[in-house]
Structure 1
Amino acid sequence: MGVARIWAIIERLVLAALVGLFAAMVVACTAQVIWRYLFNDPLVWSEELARYLFIWISYISAWVAWKNRSHIALDAVTYLNSPAIDAWTSRIVEVLVLGYCLFTLLASFQIVGITHSQPSAVLELPMSVVYAGYSAMALLVTGDILVGWLSGGRREVAPQTLASEV
């Protein structure tokens, strides 16, 4: 099994986890509304859980946007209609993003380590679980870049296929 195939499995698992995170956030918010307005007894944990799920959803969604090249970008170079220039600028962007991810990944590992013994206010989760969302996103972006390089380039994603992947 090649690296690209293993990476495709990882991508599918992470996308499935993203759907699960979103569903859990919707359930937590819905439960909060139901308990507050129907039972007049607000849940103390639902707001914190929804917040932490939203943080993870945001980070994983940032990776999805990177994977599909949907981030905001300066596309002035693409108007030159030069595939060679497009390839070089894409590679430069990937090198810069990879460097940034690796640099910040080291810092995020330190933060995760420091906050492991710090519990959250209500759920008493280790705060490292919350802060690990950034580490996961940086690892996924790094993996996407490296697998793209190892497999000989990345496939271009047509805008109409984006909805079918998520």
Structure 2
Amino acid sequence: MVIVVFLQVIFRFVVDQPLAWTEELSRYLLIWLTFLGTGYGMSVKAHPSIELLFEKAGGLMKKVLIVLSTALILFFFWQIIVNSFEFIGRSMTQTSPVLQLPMGLVYTVIPISSVLFIINLLQVSVSEWRRGASQ
């Protein structure tokens, strides 16, 4: 993305011939970066959360809260994954204005990032479970 934006700046301000495709490609790359970043954010627990109940709870209650929150989040992301395939399929006939890419390719980041989020969620949940059991 940095290279694409740098090319746009060079061609726009130095060569005075802006490249039309760089703006569109950088937008799609930013979308992918954002979605994939959510999965990474889960692995380092960077997402906002309300930990008041969790911190006040005892060992057994912490485990119940971990299982409950993990189950709800898994259900939510499972729904995103299942429904995104229909959305991607319908979007394959629509093309982007400049690059002429099927928009479904841009949207494939939705299930990919959701799977990444689930994997990282399970890793964090198991880690919290083990830490909760030791306290």
TM-score for the superposition, normalised by structure 2: 0.85
Alignment of structure 1 residues 1-80 onto 2, 5 Å = 25-80=1-56
- Which residue is 2:127 aligned to? 155
Per the TM alignment, residue 145 of structure 1 is displaced from its structure 2 partner at its CA by 4.3
Question: Mind listing any 5+ residue stretches in structure 2 that lack a counterpart?
Answer: 129-135
Distance 1:56 1:139 in 2: 14
- Which residue is 2:85 aligned to? 109
Give % identity. Answer: 27
Distance 2:81 2:57 in 1: 35
Match of residue 117, structure 2, among 131, 141, 156? 141
Distance 2:37 2:82 in 1: 21
Number of matched residues? 128
Distance 1:92 1:63 in 2: 20
Secondary structure of 2:50 counterpart: coil
Secondary structure of 1:101 counterpart: helix
Greater RCO structure (CA 8 Å; 6+ sep):
2
Rate the CA distance shift 1:51–1:63 in 2: closer, same or farther, 3 A. Answer: same
Moved over 3 A (4+): 143-146
Per the TM alignment, residue 87 of structure 1 is displaced from its structure 2 partner at its CA by 2.5
Per the TM alignment, residue 81 of structure 1 is displaced from its structure 2 partner at its CA by 5.8
Distance 2:103 2:22 in 1: 16
Distance 2:50 2:30 in 1: 28
Structure 1 counterpart of 2:73, which letter? V
TM-score for the superposition, normalised by structure 1: 0.70
Do 2:11 and 2:18's aligned partners in 1 also have CA atoms closer than 8 Å? yes
1:121 aligns with 2:93: no
- Residue by residue, what CA displacement relative to the aligned partner does 1:33-54 show, whole Å, maximum 9, x if unpaired? 1110001111100010000000
Structure with greater Cα Rg: 2
Alpha-carbon RMSD across the aligned residues, in angstroms, is: 1.9
Structure 2 counterpart of 1:155, which letter? S
Do 1:98 and 1:141's aligned partners in 2 also have CA atoms closer than 8 Å? no
Do 1:36 and 1:42's aligned partners in 2 also have CA atoms closer than 8 Å? yes
